[in-house]
Structure 1
Amino acid sequence: MADPGAAPLVAVLTTGGTIASTRDERGVSTPSRSGAGVLGGADALAGVRVRTAEVLNADSSTLTLEQAGAVREACAAALRDPAVHGVVVLHGTDSMEETAFLLDLHHGDERPVVLTGSQRTADDPAGDAPANVLAALRTAADGRARGRGVLVAFGGRVLPAAGTTKRHTTALDAFAAPEPALPRGAVLPWPAGAAWPRVDVVAVHPGADGALVDAAVAAGARGVVLQALGSGNTAPAVVEAVGRAARAGTAVVVTTRVPEGPVAATYGGGGGGHDLAAAGAVGTGRLRAGQARVLLAALLRAGADAGRVAAEFRARG
């Protein structure tokens, strides 16, 4: 049994990313640090004890769903110890929103899981990593974070995983979440050992044809996230391709390239959101492409049918 007078124990999982990277003589950044080398003494400042484990050591832009799933399994393993107050995941920013959302979809523990990273490398003299790591550790140990699911602590903000996206390529407060917050929904099952399905993101432009949707289906995609225009609109040829995909058994969901606001099945004319819905596509609400892909993949991996897919996006978007 844990000593009630001891400092809170936080499990820290490292995965690589800019926060673990240093620059070589050419100025090229690569992940090179883990564990204590990334923490930099922030645990002492936060007043916590840490237990570190390296899960991955990669640039987050390269992460597969299988690798993000490995992070989820590492979080679950860390939380099997009742002495652990919370988990901090040090992660690259390119796909932090995807990994955070995947973890949140499957996180039923009251204890928080907090992701953080940095925009500047570990050897930058004006780096943002120390402040972000300190905030993440404090949040993971804070009893007020219990029951809030998976969080992103970055740039002075603590955000819910659902709906959070990276909004700026270089700003130190790069992440933002929609207001009001998105609902979390019920915890999804974790079918251990099940393969992740291929789910592709297809971005459309004005006057696009359906070639990329057809290509995704031909490549074996079990799901397609259509990043449409406006409130979820496209061209008639794309709608026709979506219909072909749906008839072939490929799930299609529709999001938008617009940063904020929901998609809506209101426009007709052959390429509008109403026409996409009639062709079998499901709107993602306020979820954007990255997290919509994660949700669709998780649902298909768990064996969800078309009705369940539609219901989950309605509930979470």
Structure 2
Amino acid sequence: MVDNAPRGAVISLGGTIAMTAQAEGGATPTLSADDLVAAVPGLAKTGIEVEVHDFRRLPGASLSFSDLLELAVLVETLAADGVDGVVVTQGTDTIEETAYLLDLLTTGDTPVVVTGAMRNASMAGADGPANVLAALRVATSTEARGTGCVVVFAEEIHAARWVRKTHATSPAAFTSYPGPIGYVAEDRVRIMARPAPSLTFDPRSATAAARTAIYTVGLGDDGALLHALGDHVDGLVVAAFGAGHVPMACVDGLNDLAKRMPVVLATRTGSGPVLRHTYGFPGSESDLLERGLISGSTLDPVKARILLQLLLMTTADNDQVAQAFSALS
């Protein structure tokens, strides 16, 4: 053991990075956190002391809010115990959601890094080991302190609030708008921008039952499904056209829902803000906001649902939900 060596923790949730091909066909999660760390070439030369935690062994699509609330408590415990940074490995299907949820549930300056792999360990060019190495470099660096939760993939560093999975199979699947906040090059972590601090919640307080959904509007949408959906959710995110627009046929349904529950208006484009007063036709952003819908600001629909779900799980009322979203830039 080296005095003053950086300490990093790796928490494995499963996913492609932990998968190997099976004789009966298809890849499934089989690798432990120890296996993942052991497969990283050059890790010993970094001097990073790594502790491992097998937390779950699930595909990313099967992780739940309860899994991630428990994970956030573990991350906070490790930070309090003095680790310099935490790396979470998981399936890429839900990395953008997990990262943003951890950004909302963890406090302090300890870096929290989420990573994974697009190619499982049995494939040629498996990207897991390189991503874990880069993630550990970021997590244990002084440069990354205070950046909130980030996603490290293909040696790029993305803020949790902005990162998105934008390709189904590419090793460079993760992008963000307005772009990465940093990168790793020649073993050095370089942070180019720091996002504003996010809202934070105590994961132990998110105990209320809540169900939320995303409703994506489409061309010719008559709004009929809104009425059926409203009977089964406690809050709704509308993935609207452009800067926050829906077909006129959807307006009455959304008007009724906004009287019963928080309805958040987001743009389905994936980047850019929901406007407030540029357009004035029925179904425009100004019309919908006047009817009680809540602006999702610059959050994409997936991230808006994460924030809405967490607010409802902490028993926030409609006014408190509106206040939380209004604090977003």
**TM-score by structure 2 length?**
0.89
Match of 2:199 in 1: 186
Gaps of 5+ in 2: 180-193
Alignment check: 8 A CA contact 2:75 2:106 kept: no
Deviation at 1:167, TM superposition (A): 1.4
Alignment of 1:56-205 (within 5 A): 56-82=56-82, 84-179=83-178, 183-192=196-205, 194-205=207-218
Cα displacement string for residues 288-314 of structure 1 (whole angstroms, at most 9, x for unaligned residues): 111111111111222223232223223
CA distance in 1 between counterparts of 2:39 and 2:211 reads 40
- AA matched with 2:114: L
Select the residue among 281, 291, 315 that pairs with 1:303. 315
Q: 1:316 to 1:5 in 2, by over 3 A?
A: same
Alignment check: 8 A CA contact 1:55 1:70 kept: no
Alignment check: 8 A CA contact 1:45 1:134 kept: no
Deviation at 1:193, TM superposition (A): 6.0
1:223 aligns with 2:221: no
Q: 1:45 to 1:21 in 2, by over 3 A?
A: farther
Cα displacement string for residues 262-311 of structure 1 (whole angstroms, at most 9, x for unaligned residues): 11133332221122112211121221111111111111222223232223
Alignment check: 8 A CA contact 2:73 2:203 kept: no
Deviates more, 1:147-156 or 1:44-53: 44-53
- AA matched with 1:14: S
Q: 1:234 to 1:26 in 2, by over 3 A?
A: farther
CA distance in 1 between counterparts of 2:127 and 2:242 reads 35
SS in 2 for 1:133: helix
Deviation at 1:7, TM superposition (A): 2.3
Match of 1:276 in 2: 288
Cα displacement string for residues 101-159 of structure 1 (whole angstroms, at most 9, x for unaligned residues): 11111221211111100100012121111110000011111111111111111012011
1:293 aligns with 2:305: yes
CA distance in 1 between counterparts of 2:25 and 2:46 reads 32
Alignment check: 8 A CA contact 1:120 1:129 kept: yes
- AA matched with 1:253: V
CA distance in 2 between counterparts of 1:142 and 1:241 reads 50
SS in 1 for 2:143: helix
Match of 1:263 in 2: 274
- AA matched with 2:317: D
Deviation at 1:26, TM superposition (A): 5.2
CA distance in 2 between counterparts of 1:124 and 1:196 reads 41
Query: How many equivalent residue pairs?
Result: 312
Q: 1:161 to 1:78 in 2, by over 3 A?
A: same
Deviation at 1:216, TM superposition (A): 2.4
- AA matched with 2:198: G
- AA matched with 1:87: V
Among all aligned residue pairs of Structure 1 and Structure 2, give the percentage whose two residues are the same amino acid. Answer: 35
Deviation at 1:259, TM superposition (A): 2.9
SS in 2 for 1:290: helix
CA distance in 2 between counterparts of 1:240 and 1:182 reads 37
Alignment check: 8 A CA contact 1:206 1:234 kept: no
Alignment check: 8 A CA contact 1:233 1:271 kept: yes
Cα displacement string for residues 136-192 of structure 1 (whole angstroms, at most 9, x for unaligned residues): 011111111111111111012011111211111112121122227753333234344
Alignment check: 8 A CA contact 1:118 1:132 kept: yes
Q: 1:116 to 1:196 in 2, by over 3 A?
A: farther
Deviation at 1:45, TM superposition (A): 4.3
Deviation at 1:68, TM superposition (A): 2.0
Cα displacement string for residues 60-84 of structure 1 (whole angstroms, at most 9, x for unaligned residues): 11222222222212212222312x1
**TM-score by structure 1 length?**
0.92
Deviation at 1:41, TM superposition (A): 4.1
Match of 2:189 in 1: none
Deviates more, 1:43-52 or 1:284-293: 43-52
Select the residue among 251, 257, 277 that pairs with 2:262. 251
1:234 aligns with 2:232: no
Alignment check: 8 A CA contact 1:182 1:316 kept: no
- AA matched with 2:11: L
CA distance in 2 between counterparts of 1:259 and 1:247 reads 27
Q: 1:48 to 1:122 in 2, by over 3 A?
A: same
Cα displacement string for residues 221-252 of structure 1 (whole angstroms, at most 9, x for unaligned residues): 1110111111111112322111111212x111
CA distance in 2 between counterparts of 1:92 and 1:186 reads 25
